[in-house]
Amino acid sequence: MFRSILAAALAVFALHAFAAVDANKASQAELETVKGIGPALSTKILDARKHAGFKDWGDLVERVSGIGPGNAARFSQAGLTVAGQGYVASAEPERAAKTARGGKSAKSHTGAANAEAGAAAAAKASPTVSR
Question: Which spans in 78-110 are helix H?
Answer: 93-100
* Cβ within 8 Å of residue 95, ≥6 positions away: 58, 61, 62
Domain count, the chain: 1
Q: Looking at residue 52, what is its pLDDT?
A: 94
117 inside domain: yes
| Chain-centroid distance, C-alpha 101 | 16
SS3 for 33-45 is: CCCCCCHHHHHHH
pLDDT of residue 107: 43
pTM of the shown model:
0.57
pLDDT at 91: 52
The residue segments making up the domain with residue 27 are 2-125
- The parts of the chain modelled with pLDDT lower than 50 are 6, 12-17, 92-93, 96, 104-126, 131
Q: Assess if residue 15 is contained within a domain.
A: yes
**How confident is the model at residue 89, as a pLDDT?**
80
Measured distance CA(21)–CA(33) in Å, rounded: 8
* Longest distance between any two alpha carbons in the chain, whole Å: 95
